[in-house]
Amino acid sequence: MSDTVKITDIRVVLTAPAGCRLVVVRVDTSEPGLYGWGCATFTQRPLAVKVAVEEYLKPLLVGRDADRIEDIWRTAWVHSYWRNGPVLNNAISGVDMALWDIKGKRAGMPVYQLLGGKCREAAAVYRHADGASPGAVEESVRRWMAEGYRHLRVQMGGYGGRAGDLPKPEGALPGAYYDPAAYARSVPRLFEHLRGTVGFEVELLHDVHERLHPVDAIRLAKELEPYRLFFLEDALAPEDLEYFAAIRSQCATPIAMGELFNHPREWTPLIAGRLIDFIRMHISQMGGLTPARKVAAFAEMYNVRTAWHGPGDVSPIGHACNLHLDLACPNFGVQEWAGFSDALREVFPGCPEVRNGYMYPNARPGLGVDVDEVKAAKYPCASQVDVWTQTRTPDGTAVKP
């Protein structure tokens, strides 16, 4: 290979093999056959990310040296003048991950080797266990445990619990309704049941999903302390960061936060103030592997562990990026994983594999995941108006989802 490899093209592929709209970015180079893939998935606004990549980043970056990842990231970050928003961050992330993929291929190494090598052979993952009642959740937990999983996020009726037949005002607008008070009462009962039946050997997690007012979230964190959660996730919204000090001062329930974060000023005070225990950004939302590896190193100094966001609206390329960081970071905590369907595996050859509760990479250079564009085209992204993010409380007030 020549010493200098130039970026020759950047384009976006939209695909939805498992129903979630995924955004992936391909960066081509002047070296024949050398290209990289990155995840830019903002599933609620995929077309906005596509335009940002192809109409703004491509003209800026074609012709540049593909090896200069840090310079390219910083240039793309400030080029729009306004920065730290989800659309532009995801666009930058797609390019950034693709450049790391290219660098690993040029080096003939998996990306985790470029980050310092493995700290562990595989990453422990957690799965999602849900149900309509404590008994149904217990059944789900036991099924996952039988498959070898030792970390499980438990919900009862999804985020905010089961809505049921809520009394609404006349003329109330349509939306995804839930009752915050009923939800807050239900969670301690769920954990009381689970600890009484499955015991304390399995690690249990719960996601509040910013569905409570801060004072109610503080109360819930205190009530859950006897059940020794592995962590309580998103107890507060990013707009309520100052309340984390109140949670920390009143209980020892471990706290995880970050999947909605875009801006360094959101995660920096929580880590430096030792107000959370796990940092869990959506890596494409924060701008890619380049900022994520820096945040992981920063968090290590404060004994904060990583738990990167890994639901179904992260592409297998994004999951692979999570995994390479998981393997290389000494302060890894746990990795969220929603599983890969057969269709996802067909579209994204090289998907990481999970065995007995651990996720393993393949031995391929780079991120290790490719895209079959012919098969990806069989699963177009449908245009739709999401309902679940039109969240409302019983009186019809629109609230955070």
pLDDT one-digit tens code per residue, 303-313: 999 999 999 99
- Of 206, 247, 197, nearest to 230 (Cα)? 206
Measured CA to CA, the distance from residue 230 to residue 152 in angstroms comes to 9
257 pLDDT band, cuts 50/70/90, is very high
Please list the helix, strand and coil fractions of the chain in percent, rounded to the nearest 5, in that order.
Answer: 40, 15, 45
Question: Which residue in the block uniquely carries the two structure tokens 């007995």?
Answer: 356
Catalytic residue among 209, 309, 319, 324: 209
Mean pLDDT of the chain: 97
**27-66 burial by CB neighbour count: b if 16+ within 10 A, else e?**
bbbebeebbbbbbbbbbeebebbbebbbeebbebbeeeeb
Report yes or no: 10 and 31 within 8 Å, Cβ to Cβ: no
The class (CATH top level) of 113-365 is alpha beta
Does residue 324 register a pLDDT over 60?
yes
- The one-letter code for the residue type at 286 is M
Report yes or no: 202 and 227 within 8 Å, Cβ to Cβ: no
- The one-letter code for the residue type at 358 is Y
Does residue 332 register a pLDDT over 80?
yes
- Ramachandran assignment for 158, one of left (phi > 0), alpha (psi -120 to 50 degrees), beta (any other): left
Q: How many helices (H) and strands (E) does the chain have?
A: 15, 15
Q: How far is CA 60 from the centre of its chain?
A: 28
Q: What is the CATH number of domain 7-110?
A: 3.30.390.10
Question: Which residue in the block uniquely carries the two structure tokens 């109360």?
Answer: 219
∠ CA 54-59-63, nearest 5°, is: 120
Catalytic residue among 159, 178, 183, 379: 159
Domain ranges within the chain, ordered by starting residue: 7-110, 113-365
Overall average pLDDT of the 168-184 stretch: 95
Q: What is the pLDDT of residues 361-395, one digit of tens each?
A: 999 999 999 999 999 999 999 988 999 999 999 99
**Whole-angstrom Cα Rg for the chain:** 21
Does residue 323 register a pLDDT over 90?
yes
pTM: 0.96
Measured CA to CA, the distance from residue 226 to residue 139 in angstroms comes to 22
The pLDDT > 70 percentage for the chain reads: 100
91 pLDDT band, cuts 50/70/90, is very high
Measured CA to CA, the distance from residue 92 to residue 90 in angstroms comes to 5
159 is catalytic: yes
**Which of 152-166, 251-265, 326-340 is the least confident region?**
152-166
Max Cα-Cα span within the chain: 70
Question: What DSSP string runs through 179-216?
Answer: -HHHHHHHHHHHHHHHHHHT-SSSEEEEE-TT-S-HHH
Overall average pLDDT of the 214-242 stretch: 98
Does residue 1 register a pLDDT over 70?
no
Does residue 163 register a pLDDT over 90?
no
- At residue 2, the pLDDT reads 54
Q: What is the pLDDT of residues 97-138, one digit of tens each?
A: 999 999 999 999 999 999 999 999 999 999 999 999 999 999
In order of 112, 124, 322, 367, the CA distances from 116 in angstroms are 7, 20, 15, 15
Q: How far is CA 257 from the centre of its chain?
A: 11
56 is catalytic: no
- At residue 12, the pLDDT reads 98
Overall average pLDDT of the 223-237 stretch: 98
